[in-house]
Structures are given as structure tokens and as C-alpha cells.
Amino acid sequence: LCSRDPAPPPFEYVKGGGGIFKDMAVHDLDMSRHLMGSEPVEILASGTCHIDKKIMKLQGPEAYDTANIIVRYAGGKEAIIDVCRQAPYGYDQRAEVLGTKAMIQTDNMYPNTARIFAADYTGNADLPYDFFMSRYKEAYKQETVAFVDALVNDMPSPCTGEDGLIALIMAIAAGKSAQENRWVQFSEVADSVKCDEEGCMIVDLGVEPNLETENWMQRAVSNLRGSSSTKKKGIFSR
């Protein structure tokens, strides 16, 4: 998966936003899980700053504007993700899946199909769509229709709160991996949950990790759903 923005965001956006893994790569981590059709086990990530040197003063993954990620899934399958805050040629959103019998790719989308063939240039007449609001316009329509359909017909949402939670845990683990320069199992951060009378949220806590890899997702979802014995309200009950 490749996700590169056309220009870096303002310093104020990056500061306090959780860093490139949480505010940008989280979507690609979520997509990789969907494409794999299995559950993630561990992650290896790295991050650097090549574009906006002002963010280097920030803490942790907020100081990165470029990152690379490998996610290892059950059964040994792996996903490779690269993200960058700036691509000088425009918004770059591509995906490729290689299987034992075939390969499938999705390429960038353009405002039109016009192509130029000249002595000094051969290619698209325009740059790709400039940002996510235009690139994913049709996807947002379909998401809205699916959400309304779930409400009106009392059907399950195609994308659940659990899906969002797992993507966030993957992003937290990516940041931990980049900072500690090692593979990180998702079970190490699955218990990083802080709860109070208002509900529960994922935070970066230095809790003692539970390394039971088999059930890390069930534990995380259970923590956020709340417990009747403790009378804590879970995030999904809000």
C-alpha cells in the first residue's frame, strides 16, 4: 500500500495529533487487514523526517513525515505500507495484492482520461486528484448510504467500532516499533486502555504487556465494552 499526500499539514495539525501512524497510516493499516482477510500478529515500522524539519522538535512519531511499515498476519502473510507527507507529483494512493495465482492493482484516479503524446512528453494530461475529498468522493457517498441503511433497517454497520479499535492498536504498535527499532506484537499494546466513569479510550500507557498473542483483539474489545461488575461504560455504549 502506498499513501503519499500532496503537501505536509500545518505544524499545529501535527502537534498533538498522535503522529504519522495514527493520523495518516491508520487508514492503510485498516485497509491491509481488510485485504488480507486475516488478523494481524506483529508489526515493524520505521520513521524519519525529510520534508518539514520544524516537526523534528516534536515527540515520538509526531516527528516523522515519512514512514515504512511491515505487518505480519496470521499464517505468515505480510503487508508492506509506505506513507509520506508530501509527493511533489500530487496525491499518490495505490494498492497491490500479489497472490499465488494472480495479482490485482488499484492505481491513482485522474479527473479525466485525456492523455498527451508528444515529442517531449507521454502521459496523463492532468495530475491525479489533488486530495482525499475528491479522490474518495464516491467512497464517502457509499459509506454514508451504508450507514443510513444500517440505521433505517436496524442492520449491523459494515465497519464496526471493533474495526476502528484494532486499527488504532495497530497504529500505536507501529509507533512503538519505530521508537524501539524492533518487531512489536499487537498483544503488547492491546491492554493500553484507560477507563473512567465517562467511558474507556485507548492511550499510550506503559502498562505491563500481556503477551498472549491468540486473544489480544478479544481482550481489547472486552476492555472497551466495559464490565458489568465494575459498572464501567464502554466506548461502544456511548
pLDDT digits (tens, 9 = 90+) for 143-170: 999 999 999 999 988 888 888 888 988 9
pLDDT of 168 reads 87
Nine-digit cell string for 125: 494530461
Nine-digit cell string for 131: 486530495
For the cut 90, the answer to whether the pLDDT of residue 105 exceeds it is yes
pLDDT of 24 reads 95
Mean pLDDT, all residues of the chain: 85
For the cut 60, the answer to whether the pLDDT of residue 195 exceeds it is no
pLDDT of 129 reads 86
Residue-wise burial string across 3-41, b where 16 or more C-beta atoms lie within 10 A, e elsewhere: bbbbebbeeeebeeebbbbbbbbbbbbbbbbebbeeebb
Residue-wise burial string across 62-99, b where 16 or more C-beta atoms lie within 10 A, e elsewhere: bbbbbbbbbbbbeeebebebbbbbbbeebbbbebeeee
Burial of 102 (C-beta count, 10 Å sphere; 0-12/13-18/19+): exposed
Using CA atoms, how far apart are residues 219 and 213, in angstroms rounded to an integer?
10
- Give pTM, 2 decimals: 0.82
User: What 3-state class would DSSP assign to 217?
Assistant: helix
For the cut 70, the answer to whether the pLDDT of residue 67 exceeds it is yes
Rounded mean pLDDT, 116-138: 90
pLDDT of 232 reads 45
Using CA atoms, how far apart are residues 146 and 197, in angstroms rounded to an integer?
32
Burial of 189 (C-beta count, 10 Å sphere; 0-12/13-18/19+): buried
Q: How many residues does the chain have?
A: 238
Query: By the 8 A CB rule, do 224 and 165 touch?
Result: yes
For the cut 70, the answer to whether the pLDDT of residue 224 exceeds it is no
pLDDT of 209 reads 57
For the cut 90, the answer to whether the pLDDT of residue 86 exceeds it is yes
pLDDT of 231 reads 47
Rounded mean pLDDT, 97-106: 95
